[in-house]
């Protein structure tokens, strides 16, 4: 239990326990920073933070949830602290971070960390908690202080999600609608066993390509603000003005932006074959047009689709490694895992992890249980 480990580390009881969830993005990949639509689902794997105040202004962090030789988590904690201190009086604090969200796997562990830390520090400092405001603060911390030009999907998923539901989010207006998932289907996370770091990938390059396309299209359509405003016909009209790689990147975003709505429609109609087809189309587009899949992600999705209980499979998250997801019949999820996981490992020579996830709620305070003395 994190409270007990905090006592062992700091020789005191934690004053606050907080947590925030990882997420899978069911569909709508690389559309968030293009003002588009996404369909994330917070999962029942969380980053937990135990905190107590200090007499000085230092923030002292012990992070059990992150690899021992990885200091990348420190940048995210420091960024959130700096943003909070920009507008609020924040005391020094001791923090212990633990959790079971796979790190650098496409499940938004960094956003879970940001919102868990923010939730705990706000409670410790008496700062009122508004989920949307804190999602924006965490995104700003990641964009301006860590240097990853992410959209706001992950932070809103980590802060505003509701247990039992996915979330259809308009990343321009931030309007959201909760989408219930039927018990007869399950989401299986398939961790390829490969890892990536966004600072070492072409993530920011993809965003820059989208911005270049928008700047070109404005020559013929001045009202365009983002790729969200570009139709397939308008993109075709401007194609001769675009570099081939930039055209491919934009083609993915323009078509992907229609898929969250299509997936919601299919799931609402209990048409799981149609839902799976939308997921498969998304993966192909991410692989062929946006070029953010990987050999291992492709292998794991192909193995998943070959199982009769699988309706569809796709990479989830920014790509370049990490996890994929499969939509499967709930009744057959165990047999799916027991058959597909060893098939993937025999083809990839990678150790993997497969697990079913349930939709969970956003950042929250956890009850404190004081140790009897």
Catalytically active residues are 154
Spatial distance between the Cα atoms of 200 and 124, rounded to a whole number of angstroms: 34
Question: Computed from CA positions of residues 284, 275, 328, 352, in that sequence, does the dihedral angle turn out positive or negative?
Answer: positive
Which residue intervals of the chain are DSSP H helices? Answer: 2-10, 72-85, 109-125, 131-140, 153-160, 203-217, 232-238, 244-256, 259-268, 272-288, 295-305, 333-348
Q: Which residues pair with 102 in a beta bridge?
A: none
156-to-20, 45, 131, 139, 257 alpha-carbon distances in Å: 11, 16, 8, 9, 18
Would residue 99 be called left, alpha or beta, if left means φ above 0 and alpha means ψ between -120 and 50 degrees? left
Residue 16, SS3?
Answer: strand
Spatial distance between the Cα atoms of 236 and 53, rounded to a whole number of angstroms: 57
Spatial distance between the Cα atoms of 329 and 344, rounded to a whole number of angstroms: 19
Neighbours of 71 (CB within 10 A): 10
β pairing state of 59-63 and 93-99? parallel
E strand or H helix at 61, and its extent?
Answer: strand 59-63
Spatial distance between the Cα atoms of 215 and 224, rounded to a whole number of angstroms: 9
DSSP state of 148: -
186 neighbors 320 (Cβ within 8 angstroms): no
Residue 120, SS3?
Answer: helix
Q: How many residues does this entry show for the chain?
A: 373
Token pair of 211, please?
């911005």
Tally the C-alpha atoms within 13 A of residue 330's C-alpha that lie toward its C-beta: 8
Laid out side by side, the sheet with 323-329 consists of 310-315, 323-329, 185-191, 353-357
């Amino acid at each position: 239990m994190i409270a007990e480990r905090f006592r062992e580390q700091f020789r005191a009881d934690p004053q606050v326990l907080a947590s925030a969830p990882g997420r899978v993005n069911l569909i709508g990949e690389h559309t968030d920073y293009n003002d588009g639509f996404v369909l994330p689902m917070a999962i029942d794997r969380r980053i937990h933070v135990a905190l107590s105040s200090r007499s000085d202004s230092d923030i002292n962090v012990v992070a059990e949830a992150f690899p021992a030789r990885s200091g990348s988590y420190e940048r995210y904690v420091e960024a959130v602290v700096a943003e909070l201190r920009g507008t609020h009086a924040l005391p020094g604090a001791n923090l212990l971070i633990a959790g079971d969200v796979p790190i650098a796997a496409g499940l938004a562990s960094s956003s879970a960390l940001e919102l868990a830390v923010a939730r705990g520090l706000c409670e410790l400092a008496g700062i009122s908690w508004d989920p949307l405001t804190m999602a924006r603060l965490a995104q700003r911390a990641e964009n301006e202080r860590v240097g990853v030009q992410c959209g706001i999907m992950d932070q809103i998923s980590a802060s505003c999600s509701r247990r039992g539901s996915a979330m259809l989010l308009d990343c321009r207006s931030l309007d959201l609608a909760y989408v219930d998932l039927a018990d007869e289907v399950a989401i299986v996370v398939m961790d390829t066993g490969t890892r990536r770091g966004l600072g070492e990938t072409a993530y920011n390059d993809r965003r820059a390509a989208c911005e270049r396309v928008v700047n070109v299209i404005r020559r013929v359509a001045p009202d365009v603000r983002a790729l969200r405003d570009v139709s397939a016909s308008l993109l075709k009209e401007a194609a001769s003005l675009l570099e081939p790689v930039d055209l491919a990147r934009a083609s993915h975003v323009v078509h992907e932006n229609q898929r969250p709505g299509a997936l919601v429609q299919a799931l609402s109609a209990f048409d799981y074959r149609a839902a799976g087809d939308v997921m498969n189309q998304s993966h192909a587009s991410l692989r062929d047009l946006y070029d953010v899949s990987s050999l291992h992600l492709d292998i794991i999705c192909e193995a998943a689709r070959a199982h009769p209980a699988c309706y569809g499979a796709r990479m989830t998250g920014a790509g370049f490694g990490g996890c994929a997801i499969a939509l499967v019949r709930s009744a057959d999820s165990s047999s799916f895992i027991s058959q597909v996981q060893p098939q993937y490992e025999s083809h990839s020579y990678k150790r993997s992890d497969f697990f079913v996830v349930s939709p969970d709620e956003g950042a929250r305070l956890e009850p404190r249980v004081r140790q009897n003395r």
